Amino acid sequence: MTENNISRLFNFPSLFKDESKLFPEYVPSHLPHREEQLNLLASYFNGLLNYNDFPFYRVICYGPVGTGKTAVVKFFGKLIADEASKRGINLQYIHVNCQIERTKFMVVRKIIESLIPNIPKRGFSPQQLLDWLIDYLEEENLRILLTLDEADYLIRSEADTLYDLTRFPEISKGKSRISFVLVLRDISLLYRLNESILSTLQKNMIKFNPYTSKELYTILKERADEALQSDVVNDNIIMEISNRVGYDRQGNGDARFALEILWRSVKIAEMKMLNKVTLEHVKLAFSEMYPGFNQEIIQSLDRHEKIILKAIARSFKNSEESSIPINRVKENYNLICEEYGESPRRYTQFWTYVRNLKNKGLINVQVKSIGRGRRSFISLDIPSEIIEKNLDL
Ligand SMILES: Nc1ncnc2c1ncn2[C@@H]1O[C@H](COP(=O)(O)OP(=O)(O)O)[C@@H](O)[C@H]1O
Ligand SMILES: [Mg+2]
């Protein structure tokens, strides 16, 4: 590369004003369509702003991925800590991601680290850390609002951590200095907890629904205004992404996914040295998220190929396996043919279709030796729900 080329490599004009505003960890200062959840949090935790009381609050926020749970609780944490400080109350907000901190020990250590950054990290037992924390809170007259985010992981691995947290008032001299928000995806996990925890937790639940296309439109528009140079995306682009991701349309209502598509679309336009994002870039961005997936290819399929693809998607939907034996696909294929009033093709023809799907890169076929025989298995690189949603039969 010549000197000139190298300097061009890093010096093309960026379409971003501030790229980080589209990153998943950024917490925007305005969260459209989440006013209700914020209001509920405020009403549940209002008592923390009372100087003399130390009531014990716990709230559950739940909903699928990308519905703004993390953004909302972080935003709320900052609001309430600011308000407390205005009122002369020592309140600190602490956010712990249980996907990273998976044990009680790690959670408590994380809390302590957030309070005192340079604390020695080794040489303490979990119980010592806990005692130390309780004394510290008392000495400093401090109260904490603790979020256990991605708590699904904690419940699966160490459910008794929650038990300890619910016992905090007893072990901390009657004053409850730690209140908490539990953030969960899978609400059914709660039933793994013991009854007494469950009954206290269940009273305050805040639900986060997947976003509709209209809601995503406002969200994307505001984030695009913050992140991009003006006129890089127009309304059509934002609308296309929101329609594809919106829960009421074809998508799963995941704002994180929608933001990533927006970010990718802009990157693609940038790499092509253009100053605007086109619909073509958006399509490319979607197909990059699912290599091998291409709307046009799916549309060009024979009807029976589509039915087989649907049968495969359906087989994966009800299964945790990474590959599915071909005879199970055939059974589902026969069922779907029946649903659509088609007569199922015989095995040889069925195989020809399967091979076509493989050649088009939509599915993988592996042959495994089992005992003395050999059996074929199908696997997918593309999420099955994406396939189902894009197949029209
Ligand atoms: N109402 C909203 N307004 C603006 N951005 C949002 C909103 N909801 C979610 N986001 C953004 O979408 C991404 C995913 O949200 P996040 O809070 O991480 O979802 P969850 O924790 O439910 O998986 C983040 O970048 C977040 O800032
Ligand atoms: Mg989250």
CATH of the structural domain 211-289, one choice from 1.10.3720.10, 3.60.15.10, 3.50.50.60, 1.10.8.60: 1.10.8.60
Q: Which of 37, 72, 219, 222 to mutate to test the pocket of ligand 1 (most atoms within 8 A of CB)?
A: 219
Residue extent(s) of CATH 1.10.8.60 domains in the chain: 211-289
Q: Following CA atoms 17, 19, 23, 28 in sequence, which dihedral angle do they give, to the nearest 10 degrees? A: -20
- Residue 194: the pLDDT is 75
> Residues with Cβ < 8 Å from 124, sequence gap 6 or more?
132
Residue extent(s) of CATH 1.10.10.10 domains in the chain: 296-390
- Residue 172: the pLDDT is 60
Is residue 184 in contact with ligand 1, taking CB distance under 6 Å? no
Q: What residue owns the CA closest to ligand 1's atom 25?
A: 24
- Among the bound ligands, name the one nearest to the CA of residue 254: 1
Q: Which residue, chain included where needed, has tokens 């040295």?
A: 273
Record: fold of 296-390: Arc Repressor Mutant, subunit A (1.10.10)
- Among the bound ligands, name the one nearest to the CA of residue 75: 1
Is residue 30 in contact with ligand 1, taking CB distance under 6 Å? no
Question: Ligand 2 centre and the CA of 47: distance in Å?
Answer: 25
Asked whether the beta carbons of 183 and 73 are under 8 A apart, the reply is yes
- Residue 129: the pLDDT is 84
- Please state, in angstroms and rounded to a whole number, the distance separating the CA atoms of residues 237 and 282: 7
- Residue 31: the pLDDT is 97
| DSSP 8-state symbol, 102 | -
- Residue 37: the pLDDT is 98
> Which residue, 39, 64, 73, 70, is CA-closest to 210?
64
> Residues with Cβ < 8 Å from 262, sequence gap 6 or more?
22, 220, 223, 224, 233, 238, 241, 285
The environment of the single-atom ion ligand 2, i.e. residues with CB closer than 5 A, is 70
Residue 3 phi, psi (nearest 5) = -55, -40
Is residue 147 in contact with ligand 1, taking CB distance under 6 Å? no
Is residue 79 in contact with ligand 1, taking CB distance under 6 Å? no
- Residue 105: the pLDDT is 84
Question: Ligand 1 centre and the CA of 26: distance in Å?
Answer: 9
The closest-lying atom of ligand 1 relative to the alpha carbon of residue 25 is 25
Q: Which residue, chain included where needed, has tokens 């850390």?
A: 129
- Please state, in angstroms and rounded to a whole number, the distance separating the CA atoms of residues 245 and 259: 10
Q: Which of 214, 259, 262, 263 to mutate to test the pocket of ligand 1 (most atoms within 8 A of CB)?
A: 259
Question: Ligand 1 centre and the CA of 99: distance in Å?
Answer: 17
- Rounded to two decimals, what is the model's pTM? 0.77
Q: What residue owns the CA closest to ligand 1's atom 6?
A: 68
- Residue 199: the pLDDT is 75
CATH of the structural domain 34-207, one choice from 3.40.50.2300, 2.40.50.100, 1.10.3720.10, 3.40.50.300: 3.40.50.300
Low-confidence ranges of the chain (pLDDT < 50): none
Residue extent(s) of CATH 3.40.50.300 domains in the chain: 34-207
Q: What residue owns the CA closest to ligand 1's atom 3?
A: 31
- Among the bound ligands, name the one nearest to the CA of residue 61: 1
